[in-house]
Amino acid sequence: MPEEPAYFEDWIDDDGQGVGPWKIACTMTRAGEKLKFDFSGTDPQSPSSVNFYLSTAMFKMFVGICLLVVHDTNVVANDGFHDLVDVVIPEGTLLRPIRPAALSCRTHLLGRLMDVLSGLLGQRAPEFMTAAGFSDSPHFMYSGYRQNGEWFQLYWIGFGGIPARPIGDGPDGHCLWPAMKAIPNEFLEHYYPLRISTFDTVPSTGGAGLHRGGNAQRIHWRFLEPGTISIHDDRWLSKPWGVLGGEPGARSTKTLVREGGTREVLASKQDHIHVHEGDVLEWVTWGGGGWGNPLKRDPEIVALEVRRKLVTVEGARRYGVVLKGDLSVDGEGTEELRRKMREEEGARGDQEKGIFNRGGSWEELKAKALVETGLPPPKAPWEVELRGPMTRLPYFEKWKREYGGITKT
């Protein structure tokens, strides 16, 4: 690692109370044999429950495992690196909240830390960098009383699109955490008053790239008893960024279809939504970001994935691939389309410009939020009056003066 500092920031979109985005900022430096990670610039703790009290020892473990298994696979994972990593987390921030602070939605920041770490280390070795993934543990809850008076309560964790990697595509509809596995639909339908009418991944929701980001998970939950549902999710406004010319993955969406056909767009963090028999929740997580220039992907692989319903026909054009009626590659059409796309990229001067592709600045994403998502954009934390124990700390005043904005990337 060079001694020149590397800086990266990422966000969770909102706190469930209409305020966001909430920023994690980190600067990585090397002094001699030690790496230092300084989270100064991270937003103050939230009055809502998106705070995550980050264990310094656990973060050191993340750093060490990433460096060992990604950058030097010959070294057995061990704890000898802990003394070589320093971590600075200012008190009163999202990652070091002071009492009282709610933490029940902390998994949003836990997952996003993986993206931040990849963004920091990847700047010094881009060939080892992964894109951003669904980076979360999307939670779904359904509870109530059956007609016979028996109480039911489901707590379920969803999956999503894994980011594309230097060695290949991101898995589709997969879990980030190795210890978690999908619960069989038959089990859920047997023990809970529901039916799963759709369980698949959404074609072309993974970011296009030389290596494709994993596709999002899609589940349609049909409720057989009245009750309440709760959703804890993210990436409904921001997009999982692509890297090295790769495109960002698609956003998450949650839509409640009432028995009469009325469709309601739900927020990503919403509790105690009343549902009735026959209502359907259309649950879609988000895709992983792409890695590398999509125009360098083998057209035959793109065509194969269209036939396998992993990429749509229109989505194939994001790779500059034109297909015939039988879904085989149109060689001449593909060559011509790719030539035009390269010329357009050259004219814009944006071909592989920079490392990260977030799909637009925060100003642009917010301006299009209502049209593209059906939900109004959140208010920035500095646009509301934050209350809490952190306001007594010097860091809070410093944040208001120096960090009360979003760095454009």
How far apart CA 34 and CA 85 sit, in angstroms, is: 6
**What pLDDT score was predicted for residue 404?**
56
Ranges in the chain, pLDDT < 70: 178, 347-353, 403-409
pTM above 0.75, yes or no: yes
* CB atoms closer than 10 angstroms to residue 57: 11
Q: Measuring CA to CA, which residue among 195, 128, 141 is closest to residue 167?
A: 128
Distance CA 165, CA 214 (A): 10
pLDDT of residue 353: 56
Q: Burial level of 98, CB count in 10 A (0-12/13-18/19+)?
A: middle
| pLDDT at 169 (0 to 100) | 97
Q: Helix-strand-coil percent breakdown of the chain, rounded to 5? A: 25, 25, 50
339, two tokens: 């030539």
At 67 the pLDDT is: 85
Q: Which residues, 6 or more positions from 30, have their beta carbon under 8 angstroms from its beta carbon?
A: 1, 2, 3, 36
Report yes or no: 170 and 208 within 8 Å, Cβ to Cβ.
no
List, for residues 312-325, the tens digit of each pLDDT value.
Answer: 999 999 999 999 99
Residues 6+ apart with CB under 8 A from 14: 20, 21, 22, 234, 237, 267, 268, 269, 378
Round the average pLDDT of the chain to a whole number and report it: 92
Q: Tell me, what's the pLDDT at 182? A: 82
Task: With beta carbons less than 8 A apart as the criterion, state whether 163 and 170 touch.
Answer: yes
What pLDDT, on the 0 to 100 scale, is given for residue 352?
A: 46
Residue-level pLDDT at 126: 78
And the tokens for 290? 């792409």
- What's the CA angle centered on 206, arms 200 and 211, to 5 degrees? 125
Q: Is 326 helix (H, G, I), strand (E, B) or coil?
A: coil
In this prediction, residue 345 carries a pLDDT of 84
Pairing of strands 85-88, 34-38: parallel
